[in-house]
């Protein structure tokens, strides 16, 4: 090895902390493909590809938007009264290259991707794919990046922000507000706009088609979540506490979910275990650095039981939250965020009710929850209404019967027969997009197992 002047090669020396951020960003990135499996297994067989593609669309769109203007919206100086940062100050990540700040931005984008992808579970089997792609672009720009800046950056809820000065700075270590409540509210609004699946609550074909995929997905989510929660740890003590809580919270929530099911339905199910793990991870997300391991068990057990009960409500109120984005992410996100008002251990002059901190922190957490609900709710409603009026949110009734995979992507997930079931028609000629009125999708030529 020729000796080189190190200053020329690495301007900021790579420390263990930087290495951990690089690894953690990779872990969080892998959660979105994990989510695609978690959601994909839960849909019916004729919708699994579309479900997974909605997560992959988030990877594609948010990845590019982040480089163009998203990264700037998290890194710059506040504009619009602290609502966001200037999207053009660091356009193309200009000004971040060659600095440590690019690494922070790398870590941040993985959160943006999964937050968008989380929403997709609510609109399984019936959304127009093109509209979803446009939605991810608009939503991440107008809702996610501003909200992440308000909660984690120098925006409205920071110490010096307008709302932070009135209500105090909320505790949201890894994204109870910015990720889970945010995605849950957006999901709720989209469900109201898009309507229920055909046969919702009656069609037995709507039960999950592949539970091993769901369990694999939840395992990948749990694995990645160690990076999601502990990625921003600044001390060894903090990293250790977060890792401990990220293990024990899903464990306790899974047990709580299984117990709830055993009592209510008679059996502890694999889907319940996978769901309980995710509910516990969601609940501990805002609190991972600010509760004791015992507090984590209490908080996530409550979240697991609440989410297990909440997922049954959709049939009573006829709200087709297909894969329970609200039941799991909104409910457990709120439980985790609000529970901090009671369980937060003393730090930086704040503590929860149980640690003698008084009711102030609880008020802050509630105010922040209410603000996210309103901000996300109103903006998602506007975005959704515009898209509904222009592109249309929903596929046609006929396409829904045939299946969203075949009509939106001209593919089927599983072809289990080896015999000839059609014929090879040669290289596909250019033609209008399938699924449009000019080009109805041809009968199942790629498989007949639907």
Chain residues that interact with other proteins, rule: CB under 8 A: 204, 207-208, 261, 264-267, 269, 271-272, 275, 308, 311-312, 315, 324, 327
Cβ pair 378, 143 in contact under 8 A: no
Minimum distance from residue 271 beta carbon to other proteins (Å): 6
The residues with which 394 forms a beta bridge, in sequence order, are 127
Does residue 193 contact residue 127 with C-beta atoms inside 8 Å?
A: no
Minimum distance, C-beta of residue 207 to other proteins, in the bound complex (Å): 5
The residues that bridge with 347 in the sheet, in sequence order, are 350
In the complex, the smallest distance separating the C-beta of residue 308 from other proteins, rounded to whole angstroms, is 7
Q: Which CB sits closer to other proteins, 94 or 262? A: 262
CA distance 317 to 66: 37
Residue nearer to other proteins on the CB measure, 57 or 214: 214
H/E element holding 277? Answer: helix 270-284
Q: Are 164 and 156 in contact (CB under 8 A)?
A: yes
Q: Which is nearer to other proteins, 94 or 207 (CB)?
A: 207
Cα–Cα dist 420/243, whole Å:
52
Smallest gap from Cβ 261 to other proteins, in A, equals: 7
To other proteins, the closest distance from the beta carbon of 44 in angstroms equals 12
Residue 311 or 335 having the CB closest to other proteins: 311
Q: Which of 208, 207, 204 is nearest to 216 (CA)?
A: 208
In the complex with other proteins, the residue whose CB is nearer, 272 or 384, is 272
The residue (of 205 and 346) whose beta carbon lies closer to other proteins is 205
Whichever of 208 and 280 has its CB closer to other proteins, that residue is 208
Contact 311, 318 (CB under 8 A): no
**Nearer Cβ to other proteins (273/340):** 273
Cross-strand pairs, 436: 439
CB of 123 to other proteins, least distance (A): 17
Q: Which is nearer to other proteins, 161 or 272 (CB)?
A: 272
> If you ran DSSP here, which 8-state letter would residue 174 be given?
S
Report the DSSP beta bridge partners of residue 439: 436
Residue 78 CB, shortest distance to other proteins, in Å, is 42
**Which lies closer to other proteins via its Cβ, residue 168 or residue 276?**
276
408 neighbors 171 (Cβ within 8 angstroms): no
Residues whose CB falls within 8 Å of the CB of residue 269, separated by 6 or more in sequence, listed in order:
258, 261
For residue 159 the two structure tokens come to 């110490």
Q: How far apart are CA 259 and CA 265, in angstroms?
A: 10
| Burial status of residue 336 (CB atoms within 10 A of its CB: 0-12, 13-18, 19 or more) | buried
Residue 79: Cβ within 10 Å count: 16
Q: What is the DSSP string of 314-364?
A: HHHHT---TT-HIIIIIHHHHHHHHHHHHHPPPBTTB--GGGT--SHHHHH
Q: How far is the CB of 140 from other proteins (least distance, A)?
A: 28
Token readout for 51 is 């479900």
Nearest to residue 35, comparing CAs of 301, 232, 274? 274
Tell how far CA 79 is from the center of its chain. Answer: 26
Residue recorded with tokens 């046969």: 199
Tell me whether residue 272 or residue 333 sits nearer to other proteins (CB atom): 272
Q: How far is the CB of 404 from other proteins (least distance, A)?
A: 20
Q: How far is the CB of 402 from other proteins (least distance, A)?
A: 21
Minimum distance of other proteins from residue 87's CB (angstroms): 39
């Amino acid at each position: 090895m020729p000796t080189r002047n190190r200053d020329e090669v690495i301007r900021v020396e790579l420390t263990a902390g930087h290495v951990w951020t690089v690894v953690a960003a990779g872990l969080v990135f892998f959660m979105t493909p994990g989510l695609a499996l978690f959601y994909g297994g839960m849909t019916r067989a004729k919708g699994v590809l579309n479900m997974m593609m909605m997560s992959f669309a988030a990877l594609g769109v948010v990845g590019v938007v982040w480089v163009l203007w998203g990264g700037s919206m998290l890194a710059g100086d506040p504009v619009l009264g602290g609502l966001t940062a200037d999207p053009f100050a660091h356009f193309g990540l200009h000004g971040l290259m060659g600095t440590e700040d690019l690494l922070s931005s790398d870590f941040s984008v993985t959160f943006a991707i999964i937050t968008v992808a989380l929403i997709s579970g609510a609109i399984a089997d019936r959304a127009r794919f093109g509209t979803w792609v446009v939605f991810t672009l608009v939503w991440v720009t107008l809702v996610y990046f501003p909200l992440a800046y308000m909660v984690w950056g120098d925006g409205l809820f920071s110490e010096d922000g307008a709302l932070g000065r009135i209500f105090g700075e909320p505790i949201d270590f890894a994204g109870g507000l910015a990720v889970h409540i945010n995605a849950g509210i957006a999901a709720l609004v989209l469900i109201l706009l898009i309507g229920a699946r055909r046969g919702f609550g009656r069609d037995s074909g709507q039960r999950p088609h592949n539970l091993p995929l769901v369990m694999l997905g939840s395992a990948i989510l749990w694995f990645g979540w160690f990076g999601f929660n502990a990625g921003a740890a600044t001390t060894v003590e903090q990293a250790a506490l977060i890792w401990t809580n990220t293990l024990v919270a899903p464990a306790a929530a899974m047990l709580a979910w299984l117990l709830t099911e055993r009592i209510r339905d008679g059996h502890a199910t694999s889907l319940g275990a996978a769901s309980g793990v995710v509910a516990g991870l969601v609940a501990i997300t805002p609190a991972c650095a600010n509760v004791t391991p015992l507090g984590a068990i209490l908080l996530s057990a409550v979240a697991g039981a609440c989410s297990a009960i909440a997922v049954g409500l959709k049939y009573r109120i006829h709200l087709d939250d297909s894969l329970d984005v609200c039941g799991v992410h909104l409910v457990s996100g709120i439980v985790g965020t609000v529970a901090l008002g009671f369980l937060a251990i003393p730090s930086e002059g704040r503590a929860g009710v149980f640690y003698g901190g008084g009711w102030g922190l609880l008020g802050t957490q509630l105010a922040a929850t209410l603000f996210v609900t309103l901000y996300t709710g109103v903006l998602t409603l506007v975005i959704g209404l515009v898209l509904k009026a222009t592109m249309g949110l929903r596929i046609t009734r006929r396409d829904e019967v045939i299946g969203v995979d075949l009509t939106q992507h001209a593919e089927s997930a599983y072809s289990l027969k080896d015999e000839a079931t059609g014929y090879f028609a040669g290289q596909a000629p250019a033609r209008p997009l399938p699924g449009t009125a000019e080009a109805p999708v041809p009968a199942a030529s790629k498989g007949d197992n639907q």
